[in-house]
Structure 1
């Protein structure tokens, strides 16, 4: 009885001391409805009504932190002490978070607001990539509209990044503005950039050669790493998947003396679980053991002049192949495997000269060493890239001038017959840019670049950009320019190294030239009940001369590389819509329609591995009282033409429409911690569905049981399965009882990852 009395007294005391918090939420002195109000580290909370009023009841005496949160606005926190008063009034005035005003540097080599830039630049923050956590930046870009990570081999799973339908070699990838991810590293180095070290990713679609030179033909991706002063004191992020993948990011920052800060980060990824769900006796996903170590120094100088140094070391051991393969079979012809050892290091520097004028010296160096075998074919390659440029930023009245001198040193050597001696060249460049303020609403940018390549002579790339801002919520941009690309096949085309096709290079490969025009329209629309919509639409047309497009069609046993005797084009439209709703809901959707084709000898054909349409989406819901966030992300791709091996090849000539969808749950109710988990590839979609096989002749990877036409004349032959008669050219494959489709081993029929549905679970810790 005594215990019951104590319990009743405690309840009565709680009720007596339980108080009430009320108030109003506003923005720009107007009521802001549907704002989430909650007491930090508790489950108590409420939402404001249509007039901005809210109330939280039954709060015992104590000291609390009250948070007002609404997507698209900055969080507001207030400290409240509850004593004996019946009602405490706490009002909140929220400020809009203007994501469109992020500072960008990629479009013009100047730090400007995204809204003020005459060049349209897309910006993606770490929060965007956390919606679908991945072990590398390559996979992280799968939910960016118009950008597609493309796998190039079913066995070793190497890949590149397509922008607006153009293949990976047309995309320049920068780290902190420096072009060190190119050539070999475009194929093998993209997977070694830890996501946790990224401040933001900036994407420019369309030629940018007038500022960045070769390779920036289809677009560029600038991966900007964190400055030490902006990074947390310590951070850790690790996750595992149901397939046995494990990824860990660790990092910390420290003050070194009074004038230096350092950021240190490391990424480790391991996948050592061979899986063959499509039953072709080949690994569905390449096994990988990878480590990347990053360090960035920032030095304090007089007048806040910039000086930073960064370095990264990357090592990876990856292999894919027959399930029985081990390193004892490496390079032999008994069990097929593709094994790649990659070792590379990079150095990046940025130094503002100690003079009155704003002049900056930027430099980078990378060294890439690759030891690889594809079955019994070794590929040993070394690549060194040195880059330096001096930039003079000179603002004048109504003119914002930029002058630059640059030089790029390329060294490449491998053991293939195509490289009889090392390819070594230094390309000097000069560029100038003038951004002219025509009026308060209009700006015009003029730019030009001159490069000299001793192999090809002078190369001139101009560009023009116009920005018109009729209202604060509307921006129209018109961009036109040219681009160029100097080709090195064996650092770019994985199909030239693997499979049974012979590589035929016809003539001297001249630089590709492109001419592009892009129209962009951005619109902000404020709706009732605090909703905000952002529309970003673009239309583009690019015309290529001297295009080098691998020809898989002329002969199924060969790949021909030559400058196109004709032209190729890419054209399309895209639309992104970002929406901020009430009650913690935010969504985005994007779609791209495009046509990428070539015309030669009066015949127009679609480019291989290029989808005609694609879409991406994300939907996020934050339930503030429970600190739970749900993210649903996905993409969809239309049919793309695939590289078949001949008339009898039974595989589909076009891929189906396919989609990868993911869901994630994140809980951040524990101080400094985030717990997350979910399902990747909800639909369990893999490319083998609807196909008899994906890898051609996987049972005979060394073509030991393939019969060829060894005569010097075409012969006719009939398939014992289909009954179809074909003409087999000299050196071509003959249909036989054990090879009825006249195929050779080939893993290049690939357009999507083979990895099906899987669970994942992760934990983040951040100490600011």
Structure 2
């Protein structure tokens, strides 16, 4: 009996002794300016292999911590990242409230596009611009295409009067010069790029990171003008929202957009899922009453999810899926079958895509390994035809697969300062089959790239120095392509960052998005083909920038000047070369003499008070070929030109947000597009000509008011006018013989809209 009692006492004492070997830590995450609690902040205990989140009331708690110091990283969207060391007492619970301070300029926002791993924006080796949800909401941008225009050096333009084919230009270079990524994966194939930027709903986006200048050293082919990285939303809290926006284009033509969002996170934060959906319906709009649409009809629905599961505090699995189904059509007599019309451009898409990633960290967070695979399938049924053509139907299939691995190691010191080494390997596969048998067109293409990259980034608070390179083997290019990069950042004082960079880029001679769009001209259709022995196009990009944040009394300023110079060797140019055996117009892509794109992007942000902020950007640039290039076969009436077409020398934007009351917000936005040269092909006009367009000022206003419903729900009413001044093209071609590619300026005329939003936001 004594033995049993002794054993019982010994076990109790041992358990008590074991329990007392641990300490606990709890407290609140608090806004350092308002004193309000910050919910769903992320706390990482670097030296204890734990990661938690504060709850909906801002409360956090660590348990079973060793009785020594704890090193915390605390971060939350819209706040400066905070590093904090806390001394723990043995056998006790330590209470510590942690202050986070708001950041107006998002300089402490983590970005990944600069170097393929999370870095504070202010310490990134290159200038990274951000578009967040605030920009999408205050400018009433429902899709990626609408929101991209509110960045310096970036333009989105409509290239077709019939179907609304759009492309994004960075620093004046046309769409194929820009690499568009989804979560750092190059899933945007040439097929997806035809209408893709209008198919990505804003409510799936957490932020968009934009890096101007060559990016092939990190992301491979086509990253010449710049890189646009769409970071999708990851679930952080339990929430939902639903909204609808109803618009009247030119006060007459209806468009309706419905958005749905929901986020679910497990109580322990180990798993979560974010779901989204968008439904969009737009009727056709005919500006001049000729029976032919200037804006085609559009019906699309998108939905998807992004989910995660934390196997342990160091390892995470991410699964993402998205689907878009879209029908668009422009021309005349849109209710009749396409072959019973004078002109129809129709494209029906079914896009399915997804990705799986596994992320692993070492216990000291010095090592990171990521393994990933992404896939996107696109099926498209089309009709691009004129004059009641029964043989203009076609279909396109495309599959894109991107797989790879990335490894990063952080050195406490490598040579002269702390450093991070990043290496990776990536395989990109793109299958395309575009068939239009009535035009004797049967295009098959399989492009694959094996790429490996290596870079080392030395970094402290004042200096960043990065050396890196990528080697790609593209099956359309005989030799391997080496793309180096050098980046340097220097901060002489805390609020100034000076950056200099050099990078190269390339485009392989393959099919691009514009090749998969067929434009109607003079009652006929126009095709693009590559000339024999088309050589790759190479670029050399130089950037020099200064970023200065300062205060004058209570006014806060952010000023950025970014100079750029890009030399294009063997630049791709298009030239009209005549007709094929069926009478279709032909344009040929060939290598030109070279080109230089240079200029400066200027940015100014001002926050006079907590209820008012301004943001603006303006670009001044020159885009010229080394030698005059011929764009038309009509040599007698149209002279060659050194000017890159459809590229203005001046363009910019301005936004202002006024919080009239805590619940009432007024937002003003303006997009300025300067004069440019646009080709105008014969048909409606007698001869080809080069049109020098006027400039446009597209100003909009949005008003919103939030009604609180209980403690958690908010109901918002909003409305306004886009393109208030109705600054819009006035000389569209008319009738069947029009050049559908002769379109420029703002994408829509004056448009009235109103909507609502209900949820937790």
* Fold agreement, TM-score > 0.5: yes
**Aligned ranges 1:89-104 → 2 under 5 Å:** 97=104, 99-104=106-111
**Alpha-carbon distance between aligned partners in 2 of 1:229 and 1:524, rounded to the nearest angstrom:** 30
Q: Tell me the residue number matched to 1:262.
A: 273
What secondary structure, in the 3-state scheme, does the structure 2 residue paired with 1:153 have?
Answer: coil
User: Once the two structures are superposed, what CA deviation does each residue of 1:48-84 show, in whole Å capped at 9, x if it has no partner?
Assistant: xxxxxxxxxxxxxxxxxxxxxxxx999xxxxxxxxxx
Distance in 2 (CA, whole Å) between partners of 1:202 and 1:303 is: 27
Residue in structure 1 matching 2:533, options 508, 532, 542: 508
Work out whether residues 131 and 148 of structure 2, in 8 Å CA contact, stay in contact via their aligned partners in 1. Answer: no
The separation in 2 between residues aligned to 1:296 and 1:94, in whole angstroms, is 29
The aligned runs of 1:643-658 (5 Å cut-off) are: 643-645=679-681, 648-649=686-687, 653-658=691-696
Q: 1:513 to 1:269 in 2, by over 3 A?
A: same
1:145, 1:552 → 2: CA distance?
Answer: 32
Q: 2:123 touches 2:461 (CA, 8 Å); kept in 1? A: no
Report the 3-state secondary structure (helix = DSSP H, G, I; strand = E; otherwise coil) of the residue aligned with 1:140.
Answer: helix
1:290-305 matched pairs, under 5 angstroms: 290-305=300-315
1:253: how far off? 2.3
Q: Which residue of 2 aligns with 1:747?
A: 740
Q: CA deviation at 1:543?
A: 0.6
Q: Are the equivalent residues in 2 in contact too, given 1:249–1:268 (CA < 8 A)?
A: yes
- Identify the residue that residue 414 of structure 1 maps to in structure 2: 434
The answer for unaligned runs of 5 or more in structure 1 is 1-26, 39-71, 75-91, 702-744
For residues 474 and 295 of structure 1, do their structure 2 counterparts lie closer, same or farther at Cα, with a shift above 3 Å needed? Answer: same
Counterpart secondary structure, 2:597: strand
- CA 1:302–1:481: 2 relative to 1, 3 Å: same
**Aligned counterparts of 1:170 and 1:399: Cα–Cα separation in 2:** 31
CA deviation map 1:391-422 (0-9, x unaligned): 01011222210010110111011115797563
Q: How does 1:108-507 map to 2 (within 5 A)?
A: 108-230=115-237, 232-242=238-248, 243-255=253-265, 259-272=270-283, 274-322=284-332, 324-326=333-335, 328-330=336-338, 332=339, 334-353=341-360, 357-375=367-385, 376=389, 377-396=392-411, 397=413, 398-415=418-435, 420=442, 422-437=444-459, 440-457=461-478, 458-489=480-511, 491-493=513-515, 496-499=518-521, 500=524, 501=526, 503=528, 505-507=530-532
Structure 1 partner of 2:45: none
**Distance (whole Å) between structure 2 residues aligned to residue 122 and residue 754 of structure 1:** 23
Tell me how far apart the structure 2 counterparts of residues 199 and 746 of structure 1 sit (CA, whole Å): 38
- What secondary structure is seen at the aligned counterpart in 1 of 2:729? coil
The structure that is strand-richer by fraction is: 2
1:497 Cα offset (Å): 4.8
Indicate whether 1:635 and 2:663 are aligned: no
The offset of 1:95, in angstroms, is 5.6
Aligned with 1:659 (options 697, 715, 719): 697
Q: Distance in 1 between matches of 2:375 and 2:315?
A: 23
Structure-2-length-normalised TM-score? 0.78
CA contact (8 A) 1:172 1:182 kept: no
In the comparison of the two structures, how many residue pairs are matched?
A: 629
2:636 is the counterpart of 1:611: no
Distance 1:558 1:436, change over 3 A: same
Bigger mean CA offset, 450-459 vs 750-759: 750-759
Deviation of 1:118 after TM superposition, in Å, equals: 0.8
In the alignment, does 2:566 pair up with 1:542? yes
**CA distance change for structure 1 residues 651 and 622 in 2, over 3 Å: closer, same or farther?**
farther
- Cα pair 1:524 1:533 within 8 Å, conserved: yes
1:282 counterpart SS class: coil
Structure 1 residue 763 corresponds to structure 2 residue 739: no
Alignment partners' CA distance in 2, 1:468 and 1:279: 58
Distance 1:133 1:95 in 2: 24
- Which residue is equivalent to 1:523? 548
Q: In structure 2, what is the Cα distance between the partners aligned to 1:93 and 1:436?
A: 28
In the alignment, what sits opposite 1:43?
Answer: none
TM-score, normalised with respect to structure 1? 0.77
Contact persistence 1:284–1:754 (CA under 8 A): no
Q: Matched residue of 2:136: which SS? A: helix
RMSD: 2.8
3-state DSSP class of the match of 1:653? strand
Offset of 1:246 from its aligned partner? 0.6
